[in-house]
Amino acid sequence: MSNSLVVNEVYLSLQGESTFAGLPCIFVRLTGCNLRCSYCDTAYAFKEGRPMELSDILAEVNRLAAAFPVAPPFSPASSPLAAAAPAGLRLPLVELTGGEPLLQPNSAELMRQLCDLGFTVLVETSGAHDISRLDPRIRRIMDLKAPGSGELHRNRWDNLAALRPTDEIKLVLGSREDYEWAKQILRDHQLAAICPVLLSWVAPLLPHQRDASLKAVPSPSTPMSRQELVEAIIADALPVRFQLQMHKFVWSPDLRGV
């Protein structure tokens, strides 16, 4: 088997989502996805990319991380490194994203090698692929696809049994129907007892941002604003974390490599 991956881009930015939001992060965006969620904002990664040897990807990650101090395994609580990276996490973080990074088998090996180098490794995955085979050191941020995605049937429910407290579950919601579905799933599967749960608001795509291959939003669909979503979370006392895509408020939503 080739020791390479098809890579869309590798860049240093800030983590815009998850409980790690705001921390420096190197993103390795892989090419390819077998889902076509209605709200996808990275459709350019469906096909665009080039093969890279794992050794070359590791070299680029190390180059981008070179300016950051490497924290000792157990930094004192008073250390500036501990303040910047809670729980002694190494900065910058490294996240594999896509597309769908688990479509390419060698992604698991790349993440294992990154862990061996001492990086804090995150992976953003759709939840449609087996996460149990990944190195236990990896922080898995796993979607559960709501009805509004058009990909509800792709959820791999067996993955819930593989989740650990260090993982995170993300539900991307754009409508009242999505929200009611999310509340039911939270109750039925006791998600908040497994790991942190993120409710993410769908940032509507502008016409020029919408790839023709994306699924249509199923009917019925009652759009829900970000304010309405926040107010519903509070009113229903849900044990979740609301999140926005921070990078879209810092840079233009059309800008790549951020």
Judge whether residue 36 has pLDDT over 60: yes
* Per-domain residue ranges of the chain: 4-250
Model pLDDT, residue 75: 47
Q: Which two tokens stand for residue 66?
A: 């070179």
- At 151-182, the pLDDT tens digits run 999 999 999 999 999 999 999 999 999 999 99
Asked if CATH classification 1.10.10.10 holds for the domain at 4-250, the reply, yes or no, is: no
Instruction: Tell me the DSSP string of 54-103.
Output: HHHHHHHHHHHHTTSPPPPTT--TTSHHHHHSGGG--SSEEEEESS-GGG
Judge whether residue 222 has pLDDT over 70: yes
Model pLDDT, residue 209: 84
Read off the pLDDT of each residue in 199-210 and give the average, rounded to a whole number.
89
Model pLDDT, residue 86: 56
Model pLDDT, residue 258: 77
- At 65-75, the pLDDT tens digits run 999 998 654 44
Judge whether residue 255 has pLDDT over 60: yes
